[in-house]
Chains A and B, each alone.
Chain A
Amino acid sequence: MPLKAIDPDNLPTPKVEEWKFTNLPRAIPANLTRSDDETEQIIHIKRGEIRDNPVEINFTGVDNAYHVDQVNITLEEGAQATVIERHDGSGSYWKNRVTEIQIGKNAHLTHIRIQNDSTDAVNTNLVHMKLEQDSTYDSFNLNVGGKLTRHESHAEIAGRGAEATFNGVNLLNGSQHGDTTILIEHQAPNCQSNQFYRSLLDDKSRCVFQGKVHVHQEAQKTDGYQLSNALLLSPDAEMDTKPELEIYADDVKCSHGATTGQLDEEPLFYLRQRGLSKAQARLLLVQAFVYEAVDKIQSDDIRDEVLTMSNKWLQDALKA
């Protein structure tokens, strides 16, 4: 079922279970003007077409604007494409986007999202996708900007042998709030889903990771994997994790794990014994922590772009 954009006149509050960690009404800037450049972007890749160059969607927020838009991505049978979304902007605004994705039989979509919105911005993003037989959806989300962001993905894995992957990195500081919410509906047998998130939280930032894997009764031989690791760089940072499994089939392999902690002393000491200064050792260890998630990006160019951005953030964060 297609998702609807969040209704500005009827905002979800933390009283709604799915929104318990994220207070949207409190974060929306006051007196926004509805932007008149509302668009519906359509990306349609025809049967068997293989797009070599990524399709780029750039979304720049404008001060005092309420942006609402819709993206439709369709891959017909056997098609292959990469879509890159880049988010930036200046001033205070709210972006409210809905993305509807259809992935046909044996089609493969790579979906990269680089969210570097203004520090006064709110970004709510709802992605719904439906995967047909033997198709794959491979996503990576770099979440750096924004005052409050929520990236919510709903996957319907409807065809046998399909695979959906949700990887990402959250880099938050100041009083940023970053929410990642994932719902995966395993509706067919022999399918796979992967979630791997790494979060680095500094200052008073707050990060939410709630992921639910729902395995329907007919979805035998499901392989579901979910892992969220968070590293707190400050005693005032907060991580809220809610991993959930709901399984009705009796022959499945599902695992989930979540950790929240600070940098281990052991590797720090080991590196310092080998001559690295404390600052160097810390930087190397947090870079490695983030790298393990970024490394899952298949494309060299995109991986390098994400690494450059994240390394810059890490260097700034650890300078203090």
Chain B
Amino acid sequence: MIKIKDLKASVDTDNGQVEILKGITLDIPEGEVHAIMGPNGSGKSTLSYVLAGQEDYTVTNGSATLDGEDLLDLDPEERAAAGLFLAFQYPVEIPGVNMSTFLKTSINSIRKQRGEKELDALGMLKLIKTKCAELGIDGDMMKRAVNVGFSGGEKKRNEVLQMAMLEPKFCVLDETDSGLDIDALKVVAEGVNALRDPKRSFLIITHYQRLLDYITPDVVHVLANGRIIKTGGPELAHELEEKGYAEFVEEAA
């Protein structure tokens, strides 16, 4: 269960501190999928970075807890071990580090932090093979450097693969649909849907309603100017798409 309470965060700019999140309150019960939609600059990506612990942002108020544990007190790696997974809008390319080394290090770091036994080479190989097969990922990808030369679709599938392996309790998907054509979008959405679980919550951040045709949310929130201005069911996404953000935001204000 995720509880975000009156969360405010700002970023340092040349013009001083600028507040981006202006008090966000949000509960995501176990097993639910919530979507956050909003225009550019509304603070969507900032919310995902703040939850994951990116150091460019300063939290000035509020709390964010995962099963009662305050995430904001933890280092990014501790948040990951606590069960938070962020699927990046732009997965980072890491030349010189191949996928299998990366996955091995990641999985074992998390297992170690969770007090679980580290996987040996064979166990790791098996896990990687199984998960790749489930997601239709070619095993050759494991020999390539992390995200280097990957197509947009491959990058996002790679994020889903990592999500599947790290078994998080709370997944934040930051504009996972950006840079994807419709076929790639379907593949990624199927991967996410396969991970839906009564014990796992999702926060899906998106600009367009399109992704939500494939991953049906339980609740939709509209974010504008650092605040949630409306909350509703899946139909809210369609309403937004029809009216457009400008009219919608005006109406709500």
Bits for B197-231, please: 1 = Cβ < 8 Å to A, else 0.
00000000000000000000000000000000000
**Are B76 and A272 in contact, with the CB atoms below 8 A?**
yes
Task: Classify chain B: how many residues form its interface, as a range.
Answer: 20 to 34
Majority secondary structure, A binding face: helix
Q: Output the least CB separation between B142 and chain A (Å).
A: 15
**Are B166 and A274 in contact, with the CB atoms below 8 A?**
yes
Which of B103-111, B128-136, B175-183, B234-242 interfaces with chain A?
B103-111
**Are B54 and A269 in contact, with the CB atoms below 8 A?**
yes
**Are B88 and A280 in contact, with the CB atoms below 8 A?**
no
Q: Output the least CB separation between A129 and chain B (Å).
A: 29
**Are A292 and B95 in contact, with the CB atoms below 8 A?**
yes
Q: Does B52 contact A (CB under 8 A)?
A: yes
**Are A266 and B110 in contact, with the CB atoms below 8 A?**
no
Q: Does A308 contact B (CB under 8 A)?
A: no
Which of A10-18, A159-167, A232-240, A281-289 interfaces with chain B?
A281-289
**Are B106 and A270 in contact, with the CB atoms below 8 A?**
no
Q: Which of B94-128 contact A (CB under 8 A)?
A: 94-97, 101-102, 105-107, 109-110, 113
Q: Does A276 contact B (CB under 8 A)?
A: yes
Q: How many of chain A's residues have a CB under 8 angstroms from any CB in B?
A: 22
CA distance A274 to B105 in the complex (A): 9
Bits for A259-286, please: 1 = Cβ < 8 Å to B, else 0.
0000001110111111111101000110
Set A269, A273, A284: member contacting B105, Cβ < 8 A: A284
Bits for A112-135, please: 1 = Cβ < 8 Å to B, else 0.
000000000000000000000000
Residue of A nearest to B81 (CB): A275
* Contacts A269-B54, A269-B76, A270-B88; A276 near B106 (Cβ below 8 A): yes
CA distance A317 to B54 in the complex (A): 25
Q: A269-B76, A273-B76, A284-B105 are in contact. List 9 more A-B contacts (CB 8 A).
A: A269-B55, A274-B102, A275-B106, A275-B109, A277-B75, A277-B109, A278-B75, A287-B97, A292-B95
Closest 5 CB pairs of A and B: A288-B96, A275-B110, A272-B76, A275-B109, A270-B92
